[in-house]
Amino acid sequence: MIAPHLPILQVVIPLLAAPICVLLHSGRLAWLLTVAVSWVSFAVSVLLLGQVMDGGPLSYELGGWAPPWGIEYRIDALNALVLFIVSGISAIVLPFARASVEREIESERVYLFYTAYLLCLTGLLGITATGDAFNVFVFLEISSLSSYALISLGRDRRALMAAYQYLILGTIGATFILIGIGLAYMVTGTLNMADLAERLPAVSGNRTVQVSLAFLTVGICLKLALFPLHLWLPNAYAYAPSVVSAFLAATATKVSAYLLLRFLFTIFGVEFSFEAMQLGVILSTLAVLAMFVGSLVAIFQEDVKRMLAYSSIAQIGYIVLGISLVSVDGLTAGIVHLFNHAIIKGGMFLALGCIFFRIGSVQLHDMRGLGRRMPYTMAAFVVGGLGLIGVPLTAGFISKWYLVVAALEAGVWPLAVLVLASSLLAVIYVWRVVEVAYFQPVPDDKAAAKDKATLGEAPLSMLLPAWVLIGASIYFGLDTSFSVGVARAAASSLLGLDLAEIGS
Amino acid sequence: MSSSAVILFCLATPLIGALLIALSNRRPNQREAITLATAAILFVGVASLIPEVRAGARPELLLGEILPGLSLYFRVEPLGMLFAGVASFLWIVNSVYSIGYMRANLEGHQTRFYVCFAVALASTVGVAFAGNMLTLFIFYEVLTLSTYPLVTHSGKPEAIRAGRTYLGILLSTSIGLLLLAILWTWWAAGTLAFSEGGILAGRVSDGAMAVLLALYMFGIGKAALMPMHRWLPAAMVAPTPVSALLHAVAVVKAGVFTVTKVIVYIFGIDSLSRVADAGWLIYVAGATIVIASLIALRQDNLKRRLAYSTVSQLSYVILAAAILTPLSVAGAALHIAAHAFGKITLFFAAGSIYTAAHKTEVSQLAGIGRRMPWTMTAFTIGTISMIGLPPTAGFVSKWYMLRGAIEADQLFAIAIILISTLLNAAYFLPIVYTAFLNKPAPVDKDDHEHGHEHGEAPLPILLALGVTAAGTVLLFFFADLPLDLALQLAGRSQ
């Protein structure tokens, strides 16, 4: 009945809801619709993931047109997991959004905010679900344009500048991707990913194909914010509204990481990308630099949102490092971290959103004494921070474990040392916040004394979503059968291996 | 209850206790009653396992798989039994002491204090009962994090600075070195289970074994092997009950306990003794013993002197384990128990002096033995045990260490043990001497607050230090149980 149409429902439901949102013209109703859509999307992604894990990859022909003429949607373990992450984060973030958006965005623009949000969700889900290279570009533009709008809605005037910066760099990235896709089309005459994968090996000596890979890699890495192409990210995350920071930090870069995996492994193939073109060396070098530069810069931030943004740059380094090792363990590490980092960082940005809701700032200086004023929020932030460090019992530990084992297995023990050494930098930036929040006295300025209402915890509708994500980060640190299981299945299929052969 | 249910019970009791303590935030009496009850129940639980373990059984508990092939797994063997028994017994005594100390000194945030204490004890039991290296590592890290709020308890700038040193050294060694060693072990051996005879033999080269040994020994920062010892003196800013139970017993013993476990069950005594490059450990441990004693000699602050003494005493355990003979390993295990009783007594006495007389420096203690006879008698007993003279527990453990060293012809180790005995006497006996035989300094007339005539500390404090001092002596006369467990660990019957 509906089951065979799930792949397209995943994308079409939020797409259709977006114009309805405009027509509703009411912030409250728009929010309700968006929540409903997100939850339905999440349910769809859960069903899809179940189908894929039981019965293998799904293929859906759009409008009944057979590929390669029509557009094909193709869901395997990898993109089912990414769909699950994107829609899951959205489903958790939205209940949080109502109070936060009311506070941060002018009321006459709230319905437009949710419209842009739905489009952004559509774009991210579309990029992930589609099996057509040009379709990727279309959804990439949908998600990018809507996210520029979302970021520019931030209260701070610098949000406009941040959005503009992202617009310029994001457009360059998207253009590179388009050029890359165009060049591949030129040589092979197809846009269907499966067809591309079949035809490309025969022409791998062709200079055009090599250039195509180069354009695609650079373009995707720009969207991924891999060092040194990360310049748009800190401002975008720092000045966007709280909800947008949490949503984008947890999903946008993850979808780009998915694209990188899809193009390098599925479409161009391991042999071409990593043996002929030697991308592994470049990616792992940049990843290590990202780990250290991101964490080091994070240490010196006064704006905690910016600090988390730089931390994200470092964490993207871990994901890419796992990918660059081109082994089942390495890919598992990368994909597991993609999942774990989405949960941890999403939870931490939500906790920051709670803080911003109460004290109107996320400057370190203004967070003095918050450990006493907002104990549950700060506890969530600290537990999330422990996850970033990779303390056992948190999801971050699992990612680090696989990453280091993969590095040892690849015989590059210096990478193992570097991964662990860089996690120590996270201790420093997390503990800066801890010391300020727990050991410094609450500032007794007039503003705080005047407005007694601002003292105390954020409303439950905000605190609960933050704790759901933080709680999940602990759960997935203890029970890894889901996260590691799916990641392993995805990793082995990317490498063209049978999961049963490699064992667990 | 089946024995695996008892293990679960021992792990859960302090955690449930912590929750109940947190809920009785506004009712101090109820809160402290819960602390005492939790400690007592935990000890009963732990003690109920002793007969089985002594008879040769190894109760286990499997709590589910974290990573494929790696579980949260507990298995009680003699060394863990000894460690858990000592820690849980001393928690009861320490709770009595805490009540006296925290109330008399009007400390703030007492609920947080007791909650963190209970969590720290839960992780100590977790470390003691861990059946594989991953489980041990998890509780090792929780122990670090749960004691951080206790170290920084006062919230003063020097406490925050000390907290940085504490966390900085303990986390960077454990994540940077220990975790790397564990992952390497896992990758090379395909298992992390503690097994008799070790798991590394034949799976890594001798050179790799030596590197791994270094990663483990310096990675276990809690064992305070120099140069990773700085966190321990820093931790002395904490209230004295914390220094007493956590930084003389639970945390530091978790360190040397892990060292012993790694040497016995990961490397294996026999396979490690075949690796020529592993001999360095004896020298580093020996150097730590002597250097820490020399530093202790120069400390005027009583708690800092005790802390450096702890650094030195911890390396006895490492030294004994590194001699790699069954008798010396038994000595190492015994010293974990013996030092615990002696050192906690000394810290209890230091806290008692602080509470009654507000004195923290050794140079202020002239004649204090006349005013605080109970405290200083207990202090003297602790001192004798540190030096290793009969009739105290310290003598028994040193005796086995020396026998092991002689059996292995380790002249260096024998020399170190003898030299450090003299050094211990040199930095402890003067305190006893001035306390009892010197005249008190004339009271400064301007100093009304501190110059007043004081007597002994409150009763709970005296009670606690009396119990541990008595324990130090009793362990000499009734050493059967710990000796039995220690010899089981070393694979020898009496």
Q: What is the pLDDT of residues A283-300, one digit of tens each?
A: 999 999 999 999 999 999
Instruction: Please identify among residues 437-466 of chain A the ones whose CB lies closer than 8 Å to any CB of chain B.
Output: 439
Residue B414 half-sphere exposure toward CB, CA atoms < 13 A: 10
CA-to-CA separations, A293 to A228, A257, A327, A385, in angstroms, rounded: 9, 19, 25, 18
Please give the average per-residue pLDDT across B201-216, as a whole number.
Answer: 86
Give the C-alpha separation, A262 to A269, whole Å: 9
pLDDT of residue A449: 52
CA-to-CA separations, B75 to A96, A302, B72, B260, in angstroms, rounded: 44, 47, 10, 16
Judge whether A431 is closer than 8 Å to chain B, CB to CB.
yes
Q: Closest Cα to residue A150, out of A193, A194, A115?
A: A115
Judge whether A416 is closer than 8 Å to chain B, CB to CB.
yes
Measure in Å the smallest separation between the Cα of B141 and chain A Cα atoms: 7
Give the C-alpha separation, A225 to A170, whole Å: 10
Best mutation target, A388, A404, A422, A428, to test chain B (most B CBs within 10 A): A404
Within 8 A of B158 by CB-CB distance, chain A residues are: none
Q: Closest Cα to residue A270, out of A213, A222, A191, A218?
A: A213
Question: What amino acid is encoded at B129 in this protein?
Answer: F
Residue A451's pLDDT band (boundaries 50, 70, 90)? low
Give the C-alpha separation, A19 to A23, whole Å: 6
pLDDT in tens, B140-153: 999 999 999 988 88
Mean pLDDT estimate for chain A: 89
Which residues, 6 or more positions from B374, have their beta carbon under 8 angstroms from its beta carbon? B456, B462, B465, B466
pLDDT in tens, A235-264: 999 999 999 999 999 999 999 999 999 999
Task: State whether the Cα torsion A367-A373-A374-A375 is positive or negative.
Answer: positive
Residue A277's pLDDT band (boundaries 50, 70, 90)? confident
3-class DSSP state for residue B130? Answer: strand
3-class DSSP state for residue A457? Answer: coil
- What are the tokens at B464? 């606690």
Mean pLDDT estimate for chain B: 87
Q: Is a pLDDT exceeding 70 seen at residue B453?
A: no
Q: What are the b/e assignments for A244-277, b being 16+ CB within 10 Å? A: bbbbbbbbbbbbbbbbbbbbbbbbbbbebbbeeb
Please give the average per-residue pLDDT across B285-298, as a whole number.
Answer: 92
pLDDT in tens, B243-271: 888 888 889 999 999 998 998 889 888 88
Task: Indicate the range of A362-371, A467-476, B41-50 predicted with least confidence.
Answer: A362-371
Find out whether A3 and A51 touch, Cβ atoms under 8 Å: yes
Q: How many CB atoms lie within 10 A of CB A432?
A: 18
Q: Closest Cα to residue B112, out of B149, B82, B165?
A: B149
Q: What are phi and psi of A503, to 5 degrees?
A: 70, -170
Q: How many CB atoms lie within 10 A of CB B459?
A: 10
Measure in Å the smallest separation between the Cα of A254 and chain B Cα atoms: 23
Task: Give Dmax over CA atoms of chain B in angstroms.
Answer: 73
pLDDT of residue A504: 43
DSSP bridge partners of A60 = A73
Give the C-alpha separation, B418 to B286, whole Å: 11
Nearest to A484 among B67, B145, B163 (CB): B67
DSSP string for B131-153: SBHHHHHHHHHHHHHHHHHHHTT
Judge whether A479 is closer than 8 Å to chain B, CB to CB.
yes
Judge whether A504 is closer than 8 Å to chain B, CB to CB.
yes
In angstroms and rounded to an integer, the radius of gyration of the C-alpha atoms of chain A is 22
Within 8 A of A427 by CB-CB distance, chain B residues are: 167-168, 171-172, 175
Q: Closest Cα to residue B435, out of B351, B374, B347, B348?
A: B374
Asked if this assembly's ipTM is beyond 0.90, the reply is no
Q: Is a pLDDT exceeding 90 seen at residue A498?
A: no
- What are the tokens at A84? 């699950």
Measure in Å the smallest separation between the Cα of B418 and chain A Cα atoms: 40
Residue A426's pLDDT band (boundaries 50, 70, 90)? very high
Task: Indicate the range of A245-259, B284-298, B317-331 predicted with least confidence.
Answer: B317-331
Residue B157's pLDDT band (boundaries 50, 70, 90)? confident
pLDDT of residue B442: 63
Residue A250 half-sphere exposure toward CB, CA atoms < 13 A: 33
pLDDT of residue A298: 93
> What pTM, to 2 d.p., does this model score?
0.90
pLDDT of residue B107: 78
Please give the average per-residue pLDDT across B405-409, as a whole number.
Answer: 87
- Separate counts of helices (H) and strands (E) for chain A: 22, 2
Within 8 A of B219 by CB-CB distance, chain A residues are: none
Residue A442's pLDDT band (boundaries 50, 70, 90)? confident
Task: State whether the Cα torsion B452-B428-B293-B153 is positive or negative.
Answer: negative
Q: Is a pLDDT exceeding 70 seen at residue B445?
A: no
Instruction: Describe the crossing of helices A413-439 and A375-389 by its angle, rounded to 10 degrees.
Output: 160
CA-to-CA separations, A180 to A218, A226, B58, in angstroms, rounded: 10, 18, 63
From the number of C-beta atoms within 10 Å of its C-beta (0-12, 13-18, 19+), residue B288 rates as buried
3-class DSSP state for residue B194? Answer: coil
Find out whether A387 and A396 touch, Cβ atoms under 8 Å: yes
Which residues, 6 or more positions from B201, have their beta carbon under 8 angstroms from its beta carbon? B267, B268, B270, B271
Q: Is a pLDDT exceeding 70 seen at residue B96?
A: yes
pLDDT of residue A1: 63
Among chain A residues, CA nearest to B144: A391
pLDDT of residue B356: 85
3-class DSSP state for residue A186? Answer: helix
pLDDT of residue A287: 94
Question: What amino acid is encoded at A114 in this protein?
Answer: Y
Residue B493's pLDDT band (boundaries 50, 70, 90)? very low
Q: Is a pLDDT exceeding 80 seen at residue A427?
A: yes
Give the C-alpha separation, B403 to B325, whole Å: 10
DSSP bridge partners of B73 = B62
From the number of C-beta atoms within 10 Å of its C-beta (0-12, 13-18, 19+), residue B17 rates as buried
Judge whether A427 is closer than 8 Å to chain B, CB to CB.
yes
pLDDT of residue A452: 52
pLDDT in tens, A64-97: 888 777 888 889 889 999 999 999 999 999 999 8
E strand or H helix at B60: strand B60-67
Task: Give Dmax over CA atoms of chain A in angstroms.
Answer: 73
- What are the tokens at A127? 């990029």
pLDDT of residue A501: 52
- What are the tokens at A363? 């400057």
Find out whether A301 and A307 touch, Cβ atoms under 8 Å: yes
